[in-house]
Amino acid sequence: MKAYIIQRLLSLIPVMLVVAVVVFFIIHLTPGDPAAVILGPDASIEEVNHLREEMGLNLPIYEQFLIWITKVVQGDLGWSIYMDKPVLQAFLENLAPTLSLALMAQIIAILISIPAGIIAATKRGTFTDQTFMIISLLGISVPNFLLALLLVLVFAINFALLPVAGFQPLSSGILPHIQYLILPAFALGAIQAALIARVTRSSMLDVLNANYIKTARSKGVKKNVVIFKHALKNAFIPILTVIGQTFGQLIAGAVVIETVFNIPGIGQLIINAIMRRDFEVIQGTILLIAFSYVIINLIVDLLYGFFDPRVRLSAKN
């Protein structure tokens, strides 16, 4: 297990490096002078030059990168010119709603998808199976912001059951918190649910055809016990992978969903920063999300090794 962990940690270094380089250079794609763009058309040449000096834009590009990456490693992600505070602080202040939203979406997705996938697999080829799979295909085909708006049209405007938009922090009570988050979380989790259901189904089908399942059944073990105790446990690794991979996508999807519901999270932070051309905020936020995406995948991989000895043994060779 130790060798496996070390191997996985080492493999992170090049990935993180590429992520950092990409994030750094994306901002330098901006046509024109960032200093002039930030100050707007009314700024004098001296002002622009002063800001260029302050931002280190006159240095060679590799030196700028080295300075930037040194700061990032020390936890300094830059300064928001518009909000006049450190990027990291702005990020942390906006993190809670996004995390709440992503977690709730994940819970909804898991609650819907795993039972649906199991039922579809055990009733393979039947009407139920096909209906579930068509619904999951639809789930994959609807962009989450569109599903969000359609849900708003039906549940918030037509039936007036739920709030149209807005957010209540957890501190104002769990019920209002959930009430405001339920539509966004469902819209966000739908694609995940569809993906997890598909993987659950195919993974369960693989396991259900295995000889040890047939043996268990022919020995007289009850069908439900076989499905839940013997099959599900072994079908779980691909399911776990897809849950891990899609959690990163949930955070990215939350960026879009938040703008639909005016939720004050990371998504609004990024979109506002884009509108105000607050480059260091864009840079820092994207970097943090990409890093957390990498970390989540790492955790999933490590859990893998934990659940499946074959994975960690293959790392040794």
Partner 1 sequence: MNAKSIYSDEKIVSNQHQYNKEQRSLLIKRILSNRLMMFGSIILILLTIVAFLAPVIATQDPLAIDASSRLQAPSSEHYFGTDNLGRDLFSRVIYGTQASMVVGISVALISGFFGMVIGLYSAYNRYLDHVLMRICDGLMAFPAILLAIAIMAALGPKTVNVIAALSFVMIPTVARVIRSAALVVKEQTYIEALKSQGASGIRIIWVHIAPNTISQLIIQLTYVFAISIIIEASLSFLGVGIPAPDPSWGNIIYEGKAVIYNAWWMTVFPGMFIILAVLALNLFGDGLRDMLDPHSKK
CB 102 within 8 A of CB 188: yes
Q: How far is the CB of 232 from partner 1 (least distance, A)?
A: 18
Q: How far is the CB of 149 from partner 1 (least distance, A)?
A: 5
Site for partner 1 in 82-111 (CB under 8 A): none
Site for partner 1 in 1-20 (CB under 8 A): 14-19
Q: Contact with partner 1 (CB under 8 A): which of 219, 224, 310, 317?
A: 219
Q: Contact with partner 1 (CB under 8 A): which of 111, 137, 170, 174?
A: 137
Torsion 21-22-24-25 (CA) sign: positive
- Answer yes or no whether residue 150 interacts with partner 1 by CB under 8 A: yes
- Answer yes or no whether residue 225 interacts with partner 1 by CB under 8 A: no
Q: Contact with partner 1 (CB under 8 A): which of 141, 172, 215, 314?
A: 141
CB 104 within 8 A of CB 178: yes
Q: How far apart are CA 267 and CA 265, in angstroms?
A: 5
Q: Contact with partner 1 (CB under 8 A): which of 49, 64, 179, 202?
A: 202
CB 289 within 8 A of CB 266: yes
**Element housing 265 (H / E):** none
Q: How far is the CB of 309 from partner 1 (least distance, A)?
A: 25
Q: How far apart are CA 278 and CA 280, in angstroms?
A: 6
Q: How far apart are CA 308 and CA 234, in angstroms?
A: 9
Q: Which is nearer to partner 1, 177 or 304 (CB)?
A: 304
From 49-57, 182-190, 225-233, 273-281, span contacting partner 1 (CB under 8 A): 273-281
Cβ atoms within 10 A of the Cβ of 42, count? 6
Q: Which is nearer to partner 1, 232 or 273 (CB)?
A: 273
β-partners of residue 85 are: 80
Q: How far is CA 97 from CA 15, 84, 108, 258, in A?
A: 28, 22, 16, 9
From 46-54, 79-87, 148-156, 226-234, span contacting partner 1 (CB under 8 A): 148-156
CB 308 within 8 A of CB 239: no
Site for partner 1 in 25-84 (CB under 8 A): 26-31
Q: How far is the CB of 310 from partner 1 (least distance, A)?
A: 20
Q: How far apart are CA 57 and CA 67, in angstroms?
A: 11
Longest dimension (CA), the chain: 86
Query: What single letter denotes the amino acid at residue 75?
Result: G
Q: How far apart are CA 105 and CA 193, in angstroms?
A: 9
Which x/- pattern, by CB under 8 A, does the window 167-196 give for partner 1?
Answer: ------------------------------
- Answer yes or no whether residue 157 interacts with partner 1 by CB under 8 A: yes
- Among 204, 197, 205, 182, smallest CA distance to 138 is for 197
Site for partner 1 in 242-271 (CB under 8 A): 248-249, 251-253, 255-256, 259-260, 270-271
- Answer yes or no whether residue 284 interacts with partner 1 by CB under 8 A: no
- Answer yes or no whether residue 282 interacts with partner 1 by CB under 8 A: yes
Residues near partner 1, by CB under 8 A: 14-19, 21-23, 26-31, 124-126, 130, 137-138, 140-146, 149-150, 152-153, 157, 202, 205, 218-220, 248-249, 251-253, 255-256, 259-260, 270-271, 273-275, 282, 286, 289-290, 293-294, 297
